[in-house]
């Protein structure tokens, strides 16, 4: 436990220290084409996930790669950790992640989030915020990008379930593109809260897409059923128990 705690502390220092250093070194990229900032971010993430593997013994695997969206799409993912907020930038071609507006004010992170044209949402603005989110999402999809939303709106512990917010249905109806559900188990190894990381393999699983055209109720029912059942299947359970020895 002591070794794991030390590794977790070192990783936090590595991740945030690297954010400051690279944020400053790469700052000229903020004045150039978006592709420059995107390349800086990908290098940063390679170093972060390398540190995660070396210091904490955490790796990740992407399953269902045949379902990876190409071009304009909506991606609706389970949310258990900061991990997936970062990882989608390495997994997808050109994502636009829906983020709380407060994050855009953060030094370094906020600068690059806005340069990369992610979508910031002011949750206190009500209907106005929803209209702005839908407008930005349609524009990103028309540009061939994958719009990523965490439909439960918050990070949850593995096995926990919360209400799926209606914003994802609004995006699905407005964007008129397929929705790719994503299941994962990141919270087992990178918890939603606290600094502790536990050795293991994070699974990010892309599920068969939900084609456009469903009613709101049918879409929400299908989305929740697919994500929750697949995420539950990634948690430790009876299937992981050793076979009993023969008598």
Question: Where exactly are the structural domains of the chain?
Answer: 59-236
Between helices 2-25 and 34-56, what is the axis angle to 10°? 160
Q: 133-150, pLDDT tens digit by residue?
A: 899 999 999 999 999 999
Q: 190-204, pLDDT tens digit by residue?
A: 998 877 899 999 999
Q: 171-191, pLDDT tens digit by residue?
A: 999 999 999 999 999 999 999
Question: What is the per-residue burial (b if ≥16 Cβ within 10 Å, else e) of 92-102?
Answer: bebbbbbbebe
Among 57, 227, 237, 217, smallest CA distance to 156 is for 227
Confirm if 62 and 204 have CB atoms less than 8 A apart. Answer: yes
Architecture in CATH of 59-236: 3-Layer(aba) Sandwich (3.40)
DSSP state letter for 244: P
DSSP state letter for 164: P
Q: What percent of the residues of the chain are helix, what percent strand, and what percent coil, each to the nearest 5? A: 50, 15, 30
Q: pTM of the full predicted structure?
A: 0.88
């Amino acid at each position: 436990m002591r070794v794991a705690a030390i590794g977790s502390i070192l990783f936090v220092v590595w991740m945030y220290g690297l954010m400051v250093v690279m944020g400053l070194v790469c700052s000229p990229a903020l004045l150039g084409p978006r592709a420059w900032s995107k390349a800086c971010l990908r290098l940063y993430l390679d170093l972060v996930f390398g540190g995660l593997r070396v210091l904490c013994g955490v790796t990740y695997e992407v399953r269902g790669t045949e379902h990876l969206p190409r071009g304009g799409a909506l991606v609706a993912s389970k949310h258990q950790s900061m991990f997936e907020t970062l990882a989608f930038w390495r997994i997808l071609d050109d994502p636009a992640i829906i983020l709380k507006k407060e994050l855009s004010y953060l030094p370094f992170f906020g600068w690059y989030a806005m340069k990369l044209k992610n979508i910031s949402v002011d949750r206190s603005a009500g209907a106005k915020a929803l209209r702005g989110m839908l407008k930005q999402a349609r524009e990103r999809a028309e540009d061939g990008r994958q719009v990523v939303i965490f439909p439960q709106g918050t990070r949850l512990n593995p096995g926990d379930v919360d209400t799926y917010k209606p914003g994802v249905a609004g995006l699905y109806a407005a964007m008129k593109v397929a929705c790719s559900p994503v299941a994962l188990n990141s919270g087992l190894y990178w918890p939603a809260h606290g600094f502790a990381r536990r050795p293991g393999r994070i699974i990010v699983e892309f599920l068969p897409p939900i084609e456009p055209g469903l009613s709101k109720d049918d879409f929400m029912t299908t989305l929740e059923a697919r994500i929750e059942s697949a995420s539950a299947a990634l948690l430790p359970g009876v299937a992981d128990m050793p076979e009993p020895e023969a008598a």
